[in-house]
Amino acid sequence: MSKSGPAKITRIALSNELTRGGLQTLGVNIVAVGLGFLAQLILARTLGLIEYGTLVYAITTVAFLLLPAVFGLDAVAARFIAIYSGKKQKKLLIHLLYWLRWRVLKYSVITTIASSAVLLLIISIDGFQNWSVMLIVICGIPFQAVSILRQGILRGFKKAALSVTPEGIFRPFFTTILVIACWLVLPDLFDARIGAGIHVLVSILAMWIGHIFLGWFVPGRAKLPVSETQALLWKSMAWSSLITGVANSIHAQADIWMLGTLLGSKYVGPYSAAAKYSLFVIFGMNAMNTMLGPMIVRVADKPDELQQLVKRSSMISMILGGTFAIILFMAPEFFLNFYGKGFNESALSMRILVTAQVLNITCGSVGMLLAMTGHHALLMKILVSSMILDIVLNAVFIPQWGMAGAAMATAFAIMSWNLLALMMVRHHLRIRPTFGGLF
């Protein structure tokens, strides 16, 4: 048999593994999206436009605080667990798991205490009513941080579908049940504060279920000392991943947060609904990426196999994303009306965001490729530059054009970092990650 024979078999096997794992994750995500959509609809309709906007604003703001709480350690887990488990380095694997757990616990507790203290100071000046919802949501930071780390660990073990199950399925399921129960029992008292309490409670439940899942795969719990060389390697990626996570989070939340800050909560609800719908376009790519990351690590030094992986991933992502994009672009008002009266005012914003996400999936998994091939520092610089652009454009566009301005700013930022990352992938990895390998 020629040398190309085994190589071709390996590429086919990798593609099949990616497709199988990606589709399993996609199946979980489809159920998760349905449950999550139902939970958000019920929240929006039971709380009303203003209270729902207040809750979304609080959750969006606290999402930024999860970044120092996790400190990029989920990305460290996904990459190095894939390396150590692939090479059967059990001792290093146990070292890493111990190191990760204690740091996330420490960082999340410090973040919770510090942010609560700052907010209590603000409350003493501005009054309790406006900030009480956010204070409640802050209490959930440690539980969410532990869950985010667990997702990274399970991705490293190539258990992509299982990694998203607690937050994707159990969380919205319990949210729906609790919201309906509270609304039926306390219809006149049900407000954003009760919604925030439910948010924290379901965070605890999801963490507990995820802990059970993690126990099936973690090889040991011994408290082993970590060598300085290994710790420096992990810390290096953690810092880059933290800054990358900050940039990613600002990309995902800056428009909502700045809209609420500059124009008020009444615009947050409709715009956040449009933003949530636009994420359906990258639904397939996100599902594939949870499986793709650890597989990139395995073939990072094999361009042919890497090209085959990203080709299969981009094809599935585009088929799914393109279908969603056409449907959402054609009838945004129809879907926004499910949220209730006044939400269809963000129809134009939804069209803009959907268009930007189409370019996102066209470029392929460029961020994942850079992060998992040792170019995480380069990805960090790209995203930080785009983050600054995002903030500046939101500050300029929102006062001028409101929700449409926020959407345009976000669209420009998405397009800028994707195109720049695409250029870097082509330069450093010598592969074509775009749909059909066109660029």
Q: Which candidate, 415, 306, 325, places its Cα nearest to that of 368?
A: 306
Among 94-98, 311-315, 317-321, 422-426, the range with the most confident prediction by mean pLDDT is 422-426
Q: Are 207 and 147 in contact (CB under 8 A)?
A: yes
Q: Is 320 exposed, middle or buried (0-12, 13-18, 19+ CB in 10 A)?
A: buried
Helix axes 4-70, 268-278, angle to 10 degrees: 170
Question: Binning pLDDT at 50, 70 and 90, where does residue 396 land?
Answer: very high
Q: How many domains does the chain have?
A: 1
Say what the alpha-carbon torsion angle 298, 380, 99, 301 is, to the nearest 10 degrees.
20
Cβ atoms within 10 Å of 109's Cβ, excluding its own: 14
Q: What is the pLDDT of residues 93-113, one digit of tens each?
A: 777 888 888 889 999 999 999
Rounded to whole angstroms, how far apart are CA atoms 271 and 254?
12
Q: Are 76 and 152 in contact (CB under 8 A)?
A: yes
DSSP state of 89: -
Q: Per the structure block, which two tokens stand in for 333?
A: 């008002």
Q: Which helix (H) or strand (E) holds 294?
A: helix 283-298
Residue with tokens 């409350």: 123
Q: Per the structure block, which two tokens stand in for 397?
A: 């566009």
pLDDT of the residue at 9: 44
Among 7-11, 28-32, 81-85, 377-381, the range with the most confident prediction by mean pLDDT is 377-381
Lowest mean pLDDT among 236-240, 393-397, 402-406: 236-240
pLDDT of the residue at 129: 56
pLDDT of the residue at 61: 80
Q: What is the pLDDT of residues 151-173, one digit of tens each?
A: 888 888 878 777 778 888 888 88
More confident residue, 214 or 393: 393
For the four alpha carbons of 388, 389, 390 and 391, in that order, the dihedral sign comes to positive
pTM metric for this prediction: 0.68
Cβ atoms within 10 Å of 180's Cβ, excluding its own: 13
Q: Is 157 exposed, middle or buried (0-12, 13-18, 19+ CB in 10 A)?
A: buried
Rounded to whole angstroms, how far apart are CA atoms 387 and 372?
21
- Burial profile 346-385: b = 16 or more Cβ within 10 angstroms, e = fewer: bbbbbbbbbbbbbebbbbbbbbbbbbbbebbebbbebbbe
Q: Are 352 and 411 in contact (CB under 8 A)?
A: yes
Rounded to whole angstroms, how far apart are CA atoms 96 and 98?
5
Cβ atoms within 10 Å of 405's Cβ, excluding its own: 24
Gyration radius (Cα) of the chain, Å: 22
Amino acid of residue 115: S
More confident residue, 350 or 79: 350
User: Helix, strand or coil for residue 431?
Assistant: coil
Q: What is the pLDDT of residues 50-67, one digit of tens each?
A: 778 788 888 878 888 888
Within 8 A by CB and 6+ apart from 401, the residues are: 408
Task: Using alpha carbons, list the distances in angstroms from residue 17 to 12, 21, 285, 328.
Answer: 9, 6, 16, 31
- Residue 186, φ and ψ in degrees, nearest 5: -125, 60
Q: State the number of CA atoms in the 13 A half-sphere of 147 facing the CB.
A: 24
pLDDT of the residue at 3: 47
Q: Per the structure block, which two tokens stand in for 178?
A: 């609790």
Taking residues 289-306, what's their average pLDDT? 76
What secondary structure does DSSP assign to 150-168, as a single string?
HHHHHHHTT-HHHHHHIII
pLDDT of the residue at 91: 73
Question: Binning pLDDT at 50, 70 and 90, where does residue 235 land?
Answer: confident
Q: In this model, does residue 379 exceed pLDDT 70?
A: yes
Rounded to whole angstroms, how far apart are CA atoms 54 and 272?
12
Name the residue range of residue 412's domain: 4-437
Helix axes 228-263, 90-126, angle to 10 degrees: 30
User: Helix, strand or coil for residue 190?
Assistant: coil
Rounded to whole angstroms, how far apart are CA atoms 192 and 179?
11
